[in-house]
Amino acid sequence: MIQVDNLVKRYAGFTAIHGLTFSVQKGEIVGFLGPNGAGKSTTMRILSCFMPATSGTAIVAGFNTYDQSLEVRQRIGYMPENVPLYPEMRVHEYLHFRAALKGVPRSRRRGQVERVSEQCGITDVMRKIIGHLSKGYRQRVGLADALVHDPELIILDEPTIGLDPNQIRQVRGLIKDLGKSHTVLLSTHILPEVEMTCSRVIIINKGKIAASDTPENLKRLRMGGGETVVEVKADAKAVENEFRAIPDVSQVEASPSDGGFCKVAIHPKRDEDLRETVYQIVRQKGWGLRELTRRRQTLEDVFVQITTEDD
């Protein structure tokens, strides 16, 4: 559905993306991650024919974004970073206007506007003036706009930015729903959101692809850290000394908790799983045991690791 080859974008002497190559298959929900300034919006703008690339190619739904932009635009719904709504228009006027602009035949416009307003949960604000809407509603009107011509591919640039947790949950639900019948490429900063909605993640850093995989694989391949956390009933100092003596351990931090217990984080030298060794020591010492776990690597850990690696 998207095939990007060696895409470069230079802005007045500054290179924002340096030869991106990636693809998105039909039916995928792909999360586009990266720090601010990584080049996410730039890439999305090129894919949606908002501006041309400096070099390289982007084929979207079988058409070249460079010289077949009309065909591309008909097949994609793009929600930009700052949703450009007309603040003085009423919601229903705006959506009809946008549907007309996107070539939805007159006879189908009313039905399409009704369908997307239900889908995006904005039926109760259809007669309101856009400028009077809350951020959450404006965002959803932007989403309705992106969907009004029933595109196959949806490109969303930080769709949940500025929303409260309830609204984020609603938009996330909507994206998951859309993903059942559409291909979706979305950028976001909310990493748990990516784990919940996306089948694949592309991490971009300083205009280059830093990783592309399923969230599960990224976490598995980038293990490290992976410290063992144990809570035992014993003196913190004694516990620290005991665990420091394990050969594969690089660092031990113990702090007293309630009821005579202490909580200890034991960092392995490489990626060793220390749980069994730790358990044997606890048993040998006859310490009371409350917790023994290995901290799971989160997507956030992976993100930080990948995007700060070469600094």
Ligand X SMILES: Nc1ncnc2c1ncn2[C@@H]1O[C@H](COP(=O)(O)OP(=O)(O)O)[C@@H](O)[C@H]1O
Q: Which of 39, 121, 151, 215 binds ligand X (CB under 6 A)?
A: 39
Q: Which of 2, 7, 29, 34 binds ligand X (CB under 6 A)?
A: 34
Q: Which residues contact 164 (CB under 8 A, 6 or more apart)?
A: 136
The candidate with the shortest Cα–Cα distance to 307, out of 35, 37, 60, 6, is: 35
Kindly state whether residue 41 participates in binding ligand X, applying the rule CB under 6 A.
yes
Closer residue to Mg ion (CB): 112 or 188: 188
Element at 143 (helix H, strand E): helix 135-147
Kindly state whether residue 48 participates in binding Mg ion, applying the rule CB under 5 A.
no
Distance between CA 280 and CA 290 in Å, rounded?
15
Longest dimension (CA), the chain: 79
Token pair belonging to 260: 């005579």
Out of Mg ion, ligand X, none, what residue 215 binds, judged by CB under 5 to 8 A for its kind, is none
Closer residue to ligand X (CB): 139 or 297: 139
Closer residue to Mg ion (CB): 34 or 56: 34
Closer residue to ligand X (CB): 52 or 225: 52
CB of 47 to ligand X, least distance (A): 12
Q: Which of 4, 7, 20, 38 binds ligand X (CB under 6 A)?
A: 38
Which contacts of 59-68 are long-range, i.e. CB under 8 A and separated by 24 or more positions? Answer: 59/2, 59/3, 59/4, 60/1, 60/2, 60/153, 61/1, 61/152, 61/153
Query: Is the separation of the CB atoms in 201 and 30 below 8 Å?
Result: yes
Kindly state whether residue 16 participates in binding ligand X, applying the rule CB under 6 A.
yes
Closer residue to ligand X (CB): 167 or 205: 205
Distance between CA 204 and CA 38 in Å, rounded?
6
Phi, psi dihedrals of residue 180, rounded to the nearest 5°: -70, -30
Kindly state whether residue 41 participates in binding Mg ion, applying the rule CB under 5 A.
yes
Closer residue to Mg ion (CB): 9 or 40: 40
Q: Which residues contact 48 (CB under 8 A, 6 or more apart)?
A: 65, 72, 73, 76, 78, 155
Kindly state whether residue 31 participates in binding ligand X, applying the rule CB under 6 A.
no
Q: Which residues contact 138 (CB under 8 A, 6 or more apart)?
A: 83, 85, 130
CB of 177 to ligand X, least distance (A): 25
Q: Which of 42, 167, 188, 205 binds ligand X (CB under 6 A)?
A: 42
- Contact segment (CB under 6 A) with ligand X among 9-17, 132-140, 162-170, 249-257 equals 9-17
Out of Mg ion, ligand X, none, what residue 16 binds, judged by CB under 5 to 8 A for its kind, is ligand X
Catalog residues that contact Mg ion under the rule CB under 5 A: 40-41
Name the site residues for ligand X (rule: CB under 6 A): 11-12, 14, 16, 34, 36-42
